Each structure stands twice: as structure tokens, then as C-alpha cells.
Amino acid sequence: MSGGSWDRGLDYEGTKRLLLERVRGLRGVRGVRARRALAYTCVLLFQLRNGSRVSEAVDALKAWVSTRKREVEVPVRKHRSFEVRKMVVPEELKEEDRLDCASVLECVKPANVEVYAGRAFGWNTHSLRYARITHLAKQGVSPSLIAKITHHKRLDHVLRYTEQKAADEINREIG
């Protein structure tokens, strides 16, 4: 068991490098298709950086485009009560990226980003959320802080996931 069918076991650093390469390759490319791909890739970077749900990452991109702030607040999804979370704009994203994203903002919807992630990279977007969780756990961040960072309502889900990942790794290493 590795987590779920959505968990592709993505390496945080490798995934970040891949997404940043894609952003660099799309910068300055003319055409709506390239700007859409850039915007979707930026959403995936937001999601990876913050361990968020794709809908929260879409909201964060839109907030960044409209406010220019490097830290934005967005509504938390899947919670009964209204709650907001802070999301950090990935430091590698530039003003030119923000402007290109602004030009195609009406196309940036969670479903479109999910399809793009599947076609361009073979990922389910939720895998990015768990890549961040795994990365934080490997950095020694406590599960309760990981739950706060990612806005997991139930700590036991984070505990079960991080413990299973650690157990799988130990089992692989011990011959």
C-alpha cells in the first residue's frame, strides 16, 4: 500500500524541477495554447509548493494575478465551515508569468488543470499534494504541522499516510 490510486509517489524536488523546466520553456512563447499551458503549469507549481488541493491552487493563481502579492489567502475546500488558508507564490514565478496567466485566466479551471496534468505529465493532481506531504515528513516536520500546512482536517489521515510511506521505505531498504 502506498497511499491510494492517486498517489504516484512523486519526488518533490524532481517534480519541482520538471515543472520549472516546463515554465521556462513556455515563457515568451506566443499563442493562447502556450499561455494556457503556462497557467496550468503555474497552478501545478502552486499546488506542489503549498500541498494544496487543485481548486485551492487555481484560486491562489487567480489571487496572485489580481493582487500581485507573493502570499495570498484562498478558501479551504472540503471543510464545512468557511476557512481560509495562506498560499505562498512559488518564488521562481516572475511578473511576466503573472501577466501571461492573466491573459488566459478565464480558461484556468480545476478540471482543465487536471486534464492537462494527466496528458502532459501522466499525474493525478492530488499526487502533488502528497508529494509535498512526503517531502515535509522527510524533512522531519511533525505530522500535526503537516496537517496545518496542508489543511488536512484529520491528523490521522496524515499520520497513516506518512507512517505507511516510512514503513514502505524501511521495508525496501532492509534486505
Extended beta strands in 54-157, E state: 71-75, 84-88
CA-nearest of 121, 123, 126, 118 to 150 is: 126
Instruction: Out of 8, 16, 49, 53, pick the active-site residue.
Output: 53
Catalytic site residue 126?
A: yes
CA dist 104 and 40 (Å) reads 10
Instruction: Out of 36, 62, 126, 165, pick the active-site residue.
Output: 126
Instruction: Out of 40, 116, 130, 161, pick the active-site residue.
Output: 161
Catalytic site residue 161?
A: yes
Instruction: Out of 8, 36, 135, 152, pick the active-site residue.
Output: 152
**The residue type at 140:** G
Catalytic site residue 53?
A: yes
Catalytic site residue 78?
A: yes
Instruction: Out of 16, 35, 49, 129, pick the active-site residue.
Output: 129
Instruction: Out of 27, 33, 69, 78, pick the active-site residue.
Output: 78
CB 45 within 8 A of CB 20: yes
| 68 φψ region: left (φ > 0), alpha (ψ -120 to 50), beta (else) | left
CB atoms within 10 A of CB 32: 10
CA dist 23 and 19 (Å) reads 6
Q: Which residues are catalytic?
A: 53, 78, 126, 129, 152, 161
